[in-house]
């Protein structure tokens, strides 16, 4: 039995524009990539759902960053799921695949039968962009709100970027004849293209606890375009987003043909982790031999595990730290 049916548009992000509405967007498919992320861990179903949603958001948002940049999304909370972290690594060259990874930290004993989002409790949604050496990373933070990670991401763009943004996401395990159970995930992101700095009063927005909403950022004509595109997106069906028979280009025509959709080159996406033994050694290089001694296990070794991909590193303590002996070849 095969692990899944590979489709031409699996693990891709397709940028597009709606010329008649001044709206840009992306269609993402994460199938093998999401399998690659989740198979590294034995997550409970509620945690899997949160990681799947976060990975989709990361792919849709990450496609906008430049080559070799890194986008990270993080959720930190006081709930049973304490943290979700994702990274999107921009391609090294045009046409090369981008890479994505994700993991979650949680207290299994505190998980309940409530919805996945309710496992988060109070916390925040953060976006970090690293442009490389010699630059200061950008960080923006917004509250968890609206009953989903998608709504929290929409809130982030309204508050921090003042960009009306909308996500429609679907994901889950698929069982097809002749294939093993596997993940399929798909989503659409819409974003109103700014023409000028939006006029926002100091009185707060119309959303929960005074948060800004799309309607607070648009004039009447822009709001009409935005509402029309959102009404059309509301008609999308689950199989249209994650099924095996509808290419993203056909989906855009089906949803937005009256808005004159224009597509650009699709961005391939792969599961990928940047951990390595050299990086582990570098992270330990700040510690003295005495500090390293306190980090050894019962076997007298220094070990480290990558939270993203599960890689295990087993090192001789004499070869790590700033007073380390160089490992023999």
Residue 55 · residue 34 · CB < 8 Å: yes
- Does 55 score more than 70 pLDDT? yes
Kindly provide the residue ranges of all beta strands, DSSP E only, lying in the chain, ordered along the sequence. Answer: 12-18, 23-29, 70-77, 81-89, 98-106, 123-130, 138-143, 165-174, 182-192, 261-263, 267-271, 302-305, 312-315
Q: Provide mean pLDDT across the span 111-128.
A: 96
Residue 144 · residue 120 · CB < 8 Å: yes
pTM (2 d.p.): 0.84
Q: Which residue shows structure tokens 């582990």?
A: 280
More confident residue, 167 or 173: 167
pLDDT at 3: 45
pLDDT in tens, 16-53: 999 998 899 999 999 889 998 998 888 999 999 999 99
Q: Which two tokens stand for residue 178?
A: 């002749």
Q: pLDDT band for position 326 (50/70/90)?
A: low
Q: Provide mean pLDDT across the span 77-92.
A: 96
| Cα torsion angle, 147, 153, 154, 159, sign | positive
Q: pLDDT band for position 1 (50/70/90)?
A: very low
Closest CA to 48 of 59, 58, 34, 69: 34
CA dist 116 and 50 (Å) reads: 6
CATH no. for 12-271: 3.55.30.10
Q: What are the residue ranges of CATH 3.55.30.10 in the chain?
A: 12-271
């Amino acid at each position: 039995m095969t692990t899944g049916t590979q489709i031409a548009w699996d693990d891709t992000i397709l940028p597009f524009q709606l010329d008649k509405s001044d709206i840009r967007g992306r269609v993402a498919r994460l199938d093998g990539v999401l399998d690659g992320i989740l198979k590294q861990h034995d997550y409970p179903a509620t945690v899997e759902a949160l990681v799947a949603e976060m990975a989709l958001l990361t792919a849709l948002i990450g496609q906008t960053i430049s080559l070799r940049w890194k986008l990270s999304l993080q959720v930190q909370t006081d709930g049973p799921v304490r943290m979700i972290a994702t990274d999107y690594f921009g391609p090294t060259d045009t046409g090369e695949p981008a890479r994505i990874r994700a993991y979650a930290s949680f207290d299994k004993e505190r998980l309940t039968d409530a919805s996945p989002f309710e496992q988060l409790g109070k916390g925040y949604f953060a976006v970090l962009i690293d442009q490389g050496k010699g630059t200061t990373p950008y960080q923006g933070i917004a509250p968890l709100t609206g009953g989903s990670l998608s709504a929290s991401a929409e809130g982030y763009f309204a508050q921090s970027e003042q960009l009306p943004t909308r996500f429609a996401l679907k994901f889950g395990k698929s069982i097809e004849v002749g294939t093993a159970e596997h993940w399929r995930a798909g989503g659409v992101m819409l974003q109103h293209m700014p023409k000028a700095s939006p006029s926002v009063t100091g009185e707060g927005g119309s959303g929960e606890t005074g948060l800004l909403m799309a309607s607070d950022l648009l004039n009447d004509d822009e709001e009409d375009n935005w509402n029309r595109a959102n009404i059309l997106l509301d008609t999308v069906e689950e199989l249209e987003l994650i099924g095996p028979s509808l290419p993203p280009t056909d989906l855009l025509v089906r949803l937005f043909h009256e808005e004159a959709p224009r597509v650009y080159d699709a961005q391939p996406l792969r599961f990928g982790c940047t951990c390595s033994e050299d990086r582990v050694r570098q992270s330990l290089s700040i510690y003295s031999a005495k500090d390293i001694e306190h980090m050894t296990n019962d076997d007298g070794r220094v070990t480290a595990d990558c939270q993203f991909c599960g890689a295990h590193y087993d090192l001789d303590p004499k070869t790590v730290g700033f007073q380390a002996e160089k490992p023999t070849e």
